[in-house]
Amino acid sequence: MIQSTTRFRKLVRSVGVGSSLSSSAKLRVHRCFGSVAASNAEQACEQSVESYNVKKNEYADLDWDNLGFGLTPTDYMYVMKCSNNGTFEQGQLNRYGNIELNPAAGVLNYGQGLYEGTKAYRKKDGNLILFRPDQNAMRMQFGAERMCMPSPSVDQFIDAVKQTVQANKCWVPPPGKGSLYIRPLLIGSGPILGLAPSPEYTFLVYASPVRNYFKEGSAPLNIYVEAEYDRASRGGAGGVKSITNYAPVLKALLRAKNRGFSDVLYLDSVNKKNLEEVSSCNIFIVKGNLISTPAAFGTILPGVTRRSIIEIARDLCYQVEERPIPVDELSEADEVFCTGTAVGVAPVGSITCQGKRMEYKTGAQTVCAQLYSTLVGIQTGHIEDKKGWIVEIE
């Protein structure tokens, strides 16, 4: 028993319990692996680290009906380091908790970092599935090349995501109650004083159960066209998922939200005439049978959901164009919607540009609703996947 207690104390220290997790979160960790008496908590927690053997339909102690898009700490994260020859070694699952970084780490001083976002879903039979994780892996590789970083292989990326989901399966919401949002990170973790690539890199994956990204839930969004600030410029890093792309949008985003808007739509940085994207998602406009979205030519992130919606729309016999879209076309559109891993497919009810408010069709009989139901049907296993997009987690 003394040996067991010592191992448990080491586990608690490695998790950072008492500093990074609230008391309610600590209770949820134990509940996740079954209801146990206090006297058996050490043994249950110790066993969970070794096997994390959770029954298929066993859930964490969480209010699934009131789940939003906020961080809910789960049990495990995946960590993998890059060796000196530029290849990633075998990674491992660690208890979720704080990580240690040198103050001179490249990610802290020079922003050398990328992240991805994907989701796991629970089917009605309890099985867990991923949606197109290979696309996230390839996008990370593309971004890593732009940021002078080595990156995990596609197989390493998918394996890490699978392991993270499997270890945290009790945190995957019940069918229809949300999804497990998965955040892979690639960071320059080694110390570097002069401006240069980091000497060491860390790939890690953590997860959190989520539901609706916007506070409006599934209600239509109210977007503001930003004319003062830019999101990206030609030749920059707007086309990759660099961590440096997101903090600069906060000023315009917070200003818009303080005025009652849901989010900000950015224009091109050169002429301020063409649509680019919203702070955290891509944008589409609909006119009759034509669906248009800005072409991803370096300043716009090529979203996985964006690409999927384009393919689904063409399968449904819509005409889809990827092209420059003048801001003036907003006044002629029948519908507008946004896409992204976090936001899904979100209808836009109105856009305000230079003091003019334009309103759009929303509701069950819209193109947006049709595309949304088809996408979610495939993602959750309700619609047969004929494209090989779904990855089963065994």
List the domain boundaries for the chain: 76-210, 221-382
Query: How does pLDDT run across 140-178, given as a tens digit for each residue?
Result: 999 999 999 999 999 999 999 999 999 999 999 999 999
- Which residue type is seen at 40? N
pLDDT of amino acid 215: 74
Q: Is the pLDDT of residue 86 over 60?
A: yes
Quick one: average pLDDT of 96-120?
97
Class of domain 76-210: alpha beta
* Least confident interval from 26-35, 163-172, 185-194, 367-376: 26-35
pLDDT of amino acid 157: 98
Spatial contact of 242 and 278, defined as CB atoms under 8 Å apart: no
H or E element in which residue 49 lies: helix 41-51
* Least confident interval from 13-22, 150-159, 166-175, 228-237: 13-22
% residues pLDDT > 90 (the chain): 80
Residue in 241, 251, 257, 273 annotated catalytic? 241
Query: Measuring CA to CA, which residue among 113, 345, 106 is closest to residue 218?
Result: 345
Query: How does pLDDT run across 51-60, given as a tens digit for each residue?
Result: 445 566 689 9
Known active-site residue 241? yes
pLDDT of amino acid 394: 77
pLDDT of amino acid 46: 39
Instruction: Name the band, by pLDDT with cuts 50, 70 and 90, for residue 213.
Output: confident
Instruction: Name the band, by pLDDT with cuts 50, 70 and 90, for residue 27.
Output: very low
pLDDT of amino acid 217: 67
How is 10-28 classified by DSSP, letter by letter?
A: HHHHHHTBTTTB-HHHHHH
* Residue 167 CA neighbour count, 13 Å, CB half: 27
Phi then psi for residue 339, to 5 deg, are -135, 150
Q: Is the pLDDT of residue 321 over 60?
A: yes
Query: How does pLDDT run across 248-293, given as a tens digit for each residue?
Result: 999 999 999 999 999 999 999 999 999 999 998 999 999 999 999 9
pLDDT of amino acid 53: 52
Quick one: average pLDDT of 334-355?
96
Assign 124 to helix, strand or coil.
Answer: coil
> How far is 183 from 393, CA to CA, in rounded Å?
17
Q: Is the pLDDT of residue 28 over 50?
A: no
The superfamily (CATH) of domain 221-382 is D-amino Acid Aminotransferase, subunit A, domain 2 (3.20.10.10)
